[in-house]
Structure 1
Amino acid sequence: MSRSTSHNSVIDMRICIVTEYFPAGKKLDIRGGAEACAFNEALKLSEKHDVTVLTSRTPENPDGYTSGNMDVICCGPMRSYVQAGSIGERLSFMLSAYREGLKLEPDAVIGYNFITHPVAWMIAGKTNAKALARYHDVWIGEWLRNIGFSGILGEILERYTLSRRFDRMIAVSEYTARKILERYPWQRVSVVHNMVDFSPPLVEKTPSPSIACVSRLVEYKRVGDLIRAVSVLAEEFPDLKCRIIGTGPLEGELQDIAAELGVEDRVEFLGFVEKHEDVLRVIAESWVFCLPSVVEGFGIVVVEAMGCGTPFVASRIPPVMEASREMGGLFFEPCNWRDLTDKLRTLLSDNELHGRLTKEAADVFRDYSADTIGKKLEEILREVTGSI
């Protein structure tokens, strides 16, 4: 980082963030949790610090940009957003980001996902900076099961990452921190939850019962369980609609399941919704939000639902229970679509419970503000870099 004072008169720290994807501006055209985490934290840290973001060159963000104290540098060949595979393109990005990082003079380098953790580690080693990893979940031994053959790259890179002695691992949840320390007890791990900060959309709930789901359409997200639940609930709630936001390799298969169960007119696949505000609007309009996933590092979309005033039904898995503090929604037994059906039925029909959970959710949501989370993150960075 060549700037010493940048746009402000005083810059405390020079921070390099390495993230696979990053939005092309403040419109927040975000596709995944790690990207949202990197964007929100980069924006907040740049209020006081000099932040350089190294990210992929994409059709949406081909040239990078500068916003206040934040410089976004696009690295490697042009590539589209992917959730798995593209090993060659990902390796090209990693090499390009590493080379760009060597041109900087950072105090700290933070990687935000499995392909950027090693890059951050290597940049830090060559520039005498502190190396940090923002950690969402531990998938060692689970990569092939979760995403198939292309998970080999993830398995290799994650084992490499966790065998390095980072100056700090910053886990998004106590659950993820425990998973790191169970395998690598010598790692230095802190916990800072994801930042979830937005103004709730001012919209009315749909006139008839409705369910929203925001999810990648992959096996471990268990969206098929939600469709099966809708097929049962359709008999009790004749006007029930379910809107699913997200894309993935199972999209066609899930559409076929909806057709086979006779609910293709009740389940609407919205695909990728470009504007985050439009995603939040769909959640806010719905009576219930559903997250049937059995693999999460934090469950940021559940917190977003809480902020939108929409009670949730989610799998009873530790990270989502931690993120919600077990308030603002109902939990069902993972992979049990009949239990999911029961919990959805309860929330769709019990107005008193719906109102109580909505109020609970608003109280929890306030603790994920940018100011609250940003302060915790900054304290860790100051401690690690000795800038206290």
Structure 2
Amino acid sequence: MRIAFIYDVVYPYVKGGVEKRLYELGKRLARKHEVVWFTLKWWEGKDTIEKDGIQIISVGDSKTLYHGGRRSISEAIYFAWKMLLKGSLGDFDVIDCQEFPYLSCYTSRLNLPKGASFVITWHEFWGKYWKDYLGSAGIVGVKIEKGLTKLTRHHIAVSKITKDYLKEIGVSAALVPNGIDFKKIDKIKKGERSFDFLFVGRLVRHKNVDFLLRSIAHVKREHPDITLGIIGDGPERDNLELLARELGISSNVEFLGFLENHEEVISTMKSSKVFAFPSLREGFGIVVLEANASGLPAVVVDHPLNASKDLIVPWKNGFVSKNSEKDFAEHLIVAYEHKKRLGKTAKSVAKKYDWDLIAKELEKYYRGILNG
């Protein structure tokens, strides 16, 4: 098969869940198939490069991704325009376009090669959340998002929650989840830094780290010497450091910033005890599975837009807390007290999401639509 991915950013030059998924699946599919990735240019040198068997083609220069803590609308428009100007994409069997940043799905569809199957992969479905995100202007986001469902009959959802949202509006989507490199994670050794609780993610509002800090303040009353490590950076960092001081937990919390080496993140997970992840909006939650594969039970929050809650099997790989700081704190304590047993069973859950298995599922789906 000749397979094309369409997404505006590319791993490892930008490190996020969608680009990580495409890279991991792409390099595995490239062992038997031709895989091309149309994106913007995040690297130096030639416009077309090859990485792990994937041919990566830039259609334009990279642009600033975030503005005011949100994904840039102008960047989305620019990428969509460049995909339109690209013209014919070439002779492909399958073109897999990521639903985000939306507009590029429309322009890529206009240039669909004859005989190619057009697939939209959904990492999230926002629906009514658009109005919370953009206010009255959110109605535009609602219409643009829903319009994607009319572009093709081939849809993939990466999480159960997204699949269910699509089903509510009459769209049938195949579930092909994200994954992890379980075998690679299993080989990484414990790091020198150890924490009782660990968070990994961008420090932006929807990651809910202020909620986590308040929960840790509750935990401290019962366990005064507990420690929390926060791996990640973002526009909320200064506010969060100030909040930690105000809560009287700054001596318990260490802000580590971004760790450039992913192995260092995993080694820190392996030397810690519980993964604390109170994010309110996740299209999947790969980092939860990485924590599980590292032997950490995870505590997540029950929220309508948080797909990571569907990864949790209570008392096996973690817990789903109410959207309450006190309840989250209580679940952190339970996970901490049962870490040894939960850590073993968490690894067995994570093993089922190895990228090798997910790549076979995606290949099977592609073959299925090509065979009608």
TM-score by length of 1: 0.84
Following superposition of structure 1 onto structure 2, how do residues 1-388 of structure 1 map, counting pairs within 5 Å?
13-23=1-11, 28=12, 30-58=14-42, 63-67=47-51, 69-82=53-66, 84-100=70-86, 102-115=88-101, 116-124=104-112, 126-146=113-133, 154-162=141-149, 164-183=150-169, 185=170, 187-198=171-182, 199-200=184-185, 201-203=188-190, 209-317=195-303, 319-326=307-314, 327-334=316-323, 336-348=324-336, 350=337, 353-386=338-371
5+ unaligned residues in a row in structure 1: which ranges?
1-12
Residues 129 and 146 of structure 1: CA distance in aligned 2, closer, same or farther (over 3 Å): same
Post-superposition Cα deviations, 1:275-326, rounded to whole Å, max 9, x if no partner, equal: 3222222222211101101222222211111111111111135732322344
Identity among equivalent positions (%) equals 29
- Is contact 2:96–2:119 with CA below 8 Å preserved after alignment? yes
The offset of 1:265, in angstroms, is 3.1
Measure, in 2, the Cα distance between the counterparts of 1:148 and 1:59: 35
Instruction: State the Cα RMSD in Å.
Output: 2.6
SS at match of 2:255: strand
SS at match of 1:170: strand
Residues 265 and 169 of structure 1: CA distance in aligned 2, closer, same or farther (over 3 Å): same
The offset of 1:30, in angstroms, is 4.9
TM-score by length of 2: 0.88
- Is contact 1:87–1:153 with CA below 8 Å preserved after alignment? no
Residues 148 and 237 of structure 1: CA distance in aligned 2, closer, same or farther (over 3 Å): farther
Measure, in 2, the Cα distance between the counterparts of 1:241 and 1:254: 16
5+ unaligned residues in a row in structure 2: which ranges?
none
Residues 15 and 74 of structure 1: CA distance in aligned 2, closer, same or farther (over 3 Å): same
Measure, in 1, the Cα distance between the counterparts of 2:13 and 2:340: 31
- For 2:246, the aligned partner's letter is E
Measure, in 2, the Cα distance between the counterparts of 1:368 and 1:58: 29
Post-superposition Cα deviations, 1:36-92, rounded to whole Å, max 9, x if no partner, equal: 111111112111111110112225798452135420012322324436242222211
**Equivalenced residues, count:** 362
Measure, in 2, the Cα distance between the counterparts of 1:331 and 1:375: 30
Measure, in 1, the Cα distance between the counterparts of 2:98 and 2:115: 19
SS at match of 2:279: coil
- For 1:123, the aligned partner's letter is N
Residues 220 and 276 of structure 1: CA distance in aligned 2, closer, same or farther (over 3 Å): same
